Structure 1
C-alpha cells in the first residue's frame, strides 16, 4: 500500500503542478501556524476557526494540514496524501464562499470572494492525487529504492 501511495513517474508536468500547489498553499498554512503574512498565528487561527463552529480537532487538522502539507507538496513527500488533505480543506473553504458566486471580489463590490480560485486549486490537487508527485520528489526517490 505504501508503494502505491508513493508511486509516481519522473514527469515534470506533475512536478510543476505539485510545486505550484505547494507555493499557493504555503502562505495560508504559515499565516495560521506562525502568524506570517499578517496572519493570526496558531492561537488566533484556532479562535477564528472555532468561532465558525469548526470543531477544535478539525481546526488543528486544518492548521497542521495547510502548513505541513504544503511543505510536503513542495518536497514531494507523500504528495498524494498531502493533496487529499488539501482537497478536503479547500473543498470546505469553497463551500463557505459559494454564496459569493463564481468570480473573486476584483472590484470590492461583494461581501466575499467567489469560488473560481478554489476550483482551479482543486483541479490541480486532483491531478496530484491521480498522478503523484512527479520528478524531483521524495516520493519518486523512495519508490525507486
Structure 2
C-alpha cells in the first residue's frame, strides 16, 4: 500500500484544533435528528387534530383527504394527525422509536406520491418536504432511539 491509499478512513481535519470538538459532539447527531424530526412533526399533527397553527382540524382535513381519494377522510385525518402529534412526542422521547419512524416513513412515501405531480418545490406543494421528512424518519429508523432515549432506559427496542 502506498502513502496515498494508506488510511482513507481517517481524514485529516482542515482545522485540527476543532477535531476534538467534532469528535465530542458526534454522538449527539442521532439525538438531534430524532428530536428535531419529532418536534417538527407535532405542529402538523396539531393542525389536523385541533386546528391549531392555521390548520383545518379533523373535519377540514378529513374533507381534503376524502377529496384525494382517502375514504373515510376523517379516519385518515385522525390517523395522520395522531401519528404526527403523538408520534412526534414519542420520537422526542425516544419511545417506540423504530415503529413510529417506520410509520412516518410509510406516511411520507404516500405523501410523496401525492405531491409528486406538483414538482419539486415545497412552496408549490411539491414533493420536497415529504421526501426530506421521509428520509429523516428513515435515518431515525436505521439508528433507533440511541443512547439518550426512553427505549434505552426501559431496555427494550424493536
Fold match by TM threshold 0.5: yes
Q: Which residue in the other structure is 2:138 paired with?
A: 126
| Higher-Rg member (1/2) | 2
Match of 1:90 among 75, 94, 108: 108
TM-score by length of 1: 0.79
Q: Which residue in the other structure is 1:109 paired with?
A: none
Q: Which residue in the other structure is 1:71 paired with?
A: 89
User: How many equivalent pairs are there?
Assistant: 128
State whether residues 108 and 131 of structure 2, in contact with CA within 8 Å, keep that contact through their aligned partners in structure 1. Answer: no
Q: Report how far residue 68 of structure 1 moved.
A: 1.2
Q: Which residue in the other structure is 1:19 paired with?
A: 35
State whether residues 94 and 145 of structure 2, in contact with CA within 8 Å, keep that contact through their aligned partners in structure 1. Answer: yes
Query: Do structure 1's residue 54 and structure 2's residue 70 form an aligned pair?
Result: yes
Q: Report how far residue 40 of structure 1 moved.
A: 1.0
For 1:20 and 1:114, the matched residues in 2 are separated by: 22
Query: Which deviations, in whole Å up to 9, do the C-alpha atoms of 1:29-88 show, x marking residues without a partner?
Result: 000011110111122222221222212243332121112111111111101111111111
Aligned-residue Cα RMSD (Å) equals 1.7
Structure 2 unaligned blocks of 5 or more: 1-26
Q: Report how far residue 136 of structure 1 moved.
A: 2.5
For 2:147 and 2:108, the matched residues in 1 are separated by: 25
Structure 1 unaligned blocks of 5 or more: 1-10, 106-111
Q: Report how far residue 137 of structure 1 moved.
A: 1.4
Identify the structure with bigger relative contact order (alpha carbons < 8 Å, sequence gap 6+): 1
